[in-house]
Amino acid sequence: MKTYKELPSDAGSNIIGQVEAQANRVQKRLASVKHTVAIMSGKGGVGKSSLTANLATALTLQGNTVGVVDADINGPTLAKMMGVRNATLEYTPAGVKPAITALGTKLISMDLLLAEDDAPVIWNAHTQKDAFTWRSAMEVGALREFIGDTEWGTLDYLLLDLPPGTDRLPNVAELIPDLGGVVVVTIPSEVSQFIVKKSVTMARDVLKVPIIGVVENMAFYVCQHCGEKEPLFSSDETLDTAFQQDLLGSVPFDPKLARSSDDGTLYLHEYPDAPASKVLMAVAEKVQAFFQSL
């Protein structure tokens, strides 16, 4: 198989020119965004998307204008979690208007572009082998379009929900060179922390992206009968001291939070007094404090 370096020309597609034009559009859009925040974890299934949805809602409730990019192109979940799966995107000469949640948070997601509920994202290529090679480049292209072609308006915060994998942040850091910071999500298990540490090293030491802090998700659950906090994972699996220093909050497991995500009702709005809601609101305040202290 030939690599792109061996291709004799761009076959008249002006691919470099197209990418440059898109990159310029990204820079123009980001000029009206005060702070960009990536939510990441090397580990899958730890609650990145739930945290993004709730953090975006919390920041909105605290008086900010907030946009969210569902950067998980192949497994987009945010439109469902934020209750806008049925939104029809409006295309204007200035760009695509994002979906808007019941509380006013703006969202763009691949899910809003797919016609059928069970349609997967398939990157067109002659063979599956080619598709594999191009997937990462195409994912970056799709992200570039999401940011550059969406009519965000003026935003205080633009949050990006990253897919699992240590290698995802470099793509975002390349698209957004002055990325404001990263919120890292882990669960208390040693396995999760083992992987998440690699993501932190990638962000802090390799990409030099500021770490806003760490959120420990599903940290414990509150017994519905006695109100006591009980560990959800083995009680000797405590948060690594490196993570404790940067801890923004420990979010308990709450079945109502999972239900709200499934139903697309906004948990913080429905259960403002739940212990997890209070932690999530406090995490949002700490994110704001991080940027105010700069």
Where do contacts with Mg ion occur on this chain (CB under 5 A)? 48-49
Nearer to ligand ATP, 141 or 164 (CB): 164
Min dist. Cβ of residue 186 to ligand ATP (A): 10
Q: Does 164 bind ligand ATP (CB under 6 A)?
A: yes
DSSP E strands: which ranges in 101-202? Answer: 106-108, 155-161, 181-186
Residue from 77, 101, 186, 199 binding ligand ATP (CB under 6 A): 77
Residue 184 engages ligand ATP in binding (rule: CB under 6 A):
no
User: Which residues is 128 bridged to in the sheet?
Assistant: none
Query: What is the Cα–Cα distance from 186 to 41, expressed in whole angstroms?
Result: 7
From 108, 218, 268, 274, residue interacting with ligand ATP (rule: CB under 6 A): 218
Looking at 254, 266, 267, 277, which residue binds ligand ATP (CB under 6 A)? 254
CA proximity to 123, closest of 108, 141, 109, 111: 141
Partner residues linked to 99 by β-bridges: 107
Q: What are phi and psi of 148, to 5 degrees?
A: -75, -35
Pairing of strands 95-97, 90-92: antiparallel
Question: Which lies closer to ligand ATP via its Cβ, residue 109 or residue 217?
Answer: 217
Instruction: Report residue 133: phi and psi, to 5°.
Output: -65, -40
Work out whether 104 is an interface residue with ligand ATP (CB under 6 A): no
DSSP-derived secondary structure letter, 217: E
Number of residues that bind ligand ATP (CB under 6 A): 21
Q: Which is nearer to ligand ATP, 123 or 253 (CB)?
A: 253
DSSP code of residue 76: -
Find which of ligand ATP, Mg ion, none residue 50 binds, CB within 5 to 8 Å per kind. Answer: ligand ATP
Do the beta carbons of residue 160 and residue 209 sit within 8 Å? no
Nearest to 99 by CA among 54, 50, 146: 146
251 touches which of Mg ion, ligand ATP, none (CB within 5 to 8 A by kind)? ligand ATP
Does 251 contact ligand ATP by CB under 6 A?
yes
Distance of alpha carbon 221 from alpha carbon 232, whole angstroms = 6
* 71-79, 101-109, 112-120, 133-141 -> range binding ligand ATP (CB under 6 A): 71-79
Contact positions vs ligand ATP (CB under 6 A): 44-50, 72, 75, 77, 163-164, 217-218, 251, 253-254, 257-258, 261, 276
